[in-house]
């Protein structure tokens, strides 16, 4: 369809998309290598010493690359992921410099690595800019969409969501929702660096068993709108729940990219929230493992406990 719109000519956007795919594959390959053989990769990059720090830092970079690679290739929010790669590139140069200074470096290799990183950074910037030039990518607005299938009737699924005070039970970022007699609701959520953000919201649309949508009103810390739709899943497999959120993150686009680097990927978070919603409806509670005692949270994947009983 894109080809038709651009009358068959390769557009800057298509080139950027191709480049993005290449970079995505590169992320996957590099990430896998960093995880599998952190010491070898660090050596190849010119950092000489072994040791837990080098291994740890390189593995962390590996996880980041894998996440970014998968994010880019997923085709969802590609530009955002690419910008997160640019930030990652800057981080890599810094890490490599620090690592080399502290641990001793092989100068020729280090030079090569830095040159390679510079090249990759340029490619990332080109691809990200190409993809960011997009009409629908409102300047400072972020959008998250996720869907889950719940093995329950539409009525039951709708009912559980329509009591907004249930939401913090499965939405990790929400501290509380209080519904006032007027129908307005007061929301409190965890903001950047553990701060609390607050807003009031009103229901915009509420059609039983079909859709609920809301928007923040007045002087909100984070301006946002959202909707949840319910529809029958094919083959009697319960209810498909689709949630869309739009919000202006504190700190604008830069803030959103920084948050992404720290693992706060909004689509992912929303998917985790919906999986918890599904658990609550299907089995009555959030499922916990010893590695993730608080339940679903990809955001905390780097901070997991070992899979050992909780003391």
Partner 1 sequence: MRANCWTGKRSVEVREVPDPTILNRRDAIVKITSTAICGSDLHLYNGFIPTMREGDVLGHEFMGEVVEIGPGVDGLSVGDRVVVPFPIACGVCGACERGMTALCENSNPNAGIAEKLLGHSPAALFGYSHMLGGYPGGQAEYARVPFADFGALKVESDLSDEKVLFLSDIFPTGYMGADMAEVGPGDVVAVWGAGPVGQFAIASCFLRGAERVIAIDRIDHRLRLAQETGAETLDFEQVSVPEALAEMTGGRGPDKCIDAVGMEAHHANHALHAYDRAKQAAMLETERPHVLREAVMSCANGGIVSVIGVYGGFTDKFPMGSFMNRYLTMRAGQCHVHRYMPTLLDHVRNGDIDPSFVITHRMPLDDAPKGYRTFLEKADDCEKVVLTP
Site residues, partner 1 (CB under 8 A): 29, 32-33, 35-37, 66-67, 70, 149, 151, 237-238, 268, 271-272, 275, 278-279, 282-285, 287-293, 295-298, 301, 304-311
Smallest gap from Cβ 299 to partner 1, in A, equals 8
Smallest gap from Cβ 149 to partner 1, in A, equals 7
What's the CA gap between 305 and 279, in Å, rounded? Answer: 22
Q: What is the dihedral of CA 42, 43, 49, 54, to 10 degrees?
A: 10
Smallest gap from Cβ 219 to partner 1, in A, equals 34
Smallest gap from Cβ 84 to partner 1, in A, equals 14
The residues, any chain, with a CB within 8 Å of residue 311's CB and separated by 6 or more, are: none
| 13 vs 109, beta carbon nearer partner 1 | 109
| 27 vs 216, beta carbon nearer partner 1 | 27
Smallest gap from Cβ 131 to partner 1, in A, equals 20
- DSSP structure class, residue 166: G
| 95 vs 269, beta carbon nearer partner 1 | 269
Question: What b-and-e string marks burial along 197-227, b requiring 16 or more CB atoms within 10 Å of the CB?
Answer: bbbebeeeeeeebebbebbbeeebbbbbbbb
Q: Are 231 and 240 in contact (CB under 8 A)?
A: yes
Q: Are 305 and 291 in contact (CB under 8 A)?
A: yes
What's the CA gap between 75 and 49, in Å, rounded? Answer: 38
| 53 vs 301, beta carbon nearer partner 1 | 301
What's the CA gap between 277 and 79, in Å, rounded? Answer: 29
Smallest gap from Cβ 147 to partner 1, in A, equals 12
Dihedral sign for Cα atoms in the order 215, 221, 223, 227: negative
| 253 vs 276, beta carbon nearer partner 1 | 276
| 99 vs 295, beta carbon nearer partner 1 | 295
């Amino acid at each position: 369809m894109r080809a038709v719109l651009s009358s068959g000519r390769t557009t800057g956007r298509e080139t950027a998309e191709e480049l993005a795919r290449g970079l995505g594959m590169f992320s996957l390959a590099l990430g896998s290598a960093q995880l599998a053989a952190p010491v070898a990769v660090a050596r190849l990059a010119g950092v000489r010493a072994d040791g837990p720090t080098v291994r740890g830092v390189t593995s962390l970079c590996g996880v980041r690359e894998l996440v970014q690679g998968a994010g880019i290739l997923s085709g969802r929010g590609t530009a955002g992921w690419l910008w997160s790669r640019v930030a990652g590139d800057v981080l890599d140069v810094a890490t490599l410099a620090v690592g080399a200074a502290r641990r001793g470096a092989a100068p020729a290799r280090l030079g090569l690595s830095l040159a390679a990183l510079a090249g990759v950074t340029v490619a990332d910037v080109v691809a990200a800019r190409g993809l960011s030039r997009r009409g629908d990518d409102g300047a400072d607005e972020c959008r998250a969409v996720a869907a889950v299938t719940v093995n329950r009737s539409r009525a039951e699924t709708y009912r559980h969501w329509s009591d907004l005070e249930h939401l913090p039970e499965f939405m990790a970022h929400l501290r509380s929702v209080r519904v006032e007699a007027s129908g307005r609701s007061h929301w409190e959520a965890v903001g950047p660096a553990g701060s609390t953000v607050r807003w009031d919201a009103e229901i915009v649309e509420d059609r039983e068993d079909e859709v609920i949508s809301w928007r923040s009103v007045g002087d909100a810390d984070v301006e946002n709108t959202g909707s949840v739709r319910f529809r029958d899943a094919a083959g009697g497999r319960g209810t498909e729940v689709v949630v869309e959120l739009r919000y202006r993150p504190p700190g604008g686009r830069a803030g959103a990219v920084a948050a992404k680097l720290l693992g706060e990927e909004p689509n992912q978070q929303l998917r985790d929230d919906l999986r918890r919603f599904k658990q609550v409806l299907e089995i009555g509670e959030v499922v916990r493992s010893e590695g993730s005692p608080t339940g679903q949270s990809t955001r905390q994947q780097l901070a997991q406990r070992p899979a050992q009983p909780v003391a």
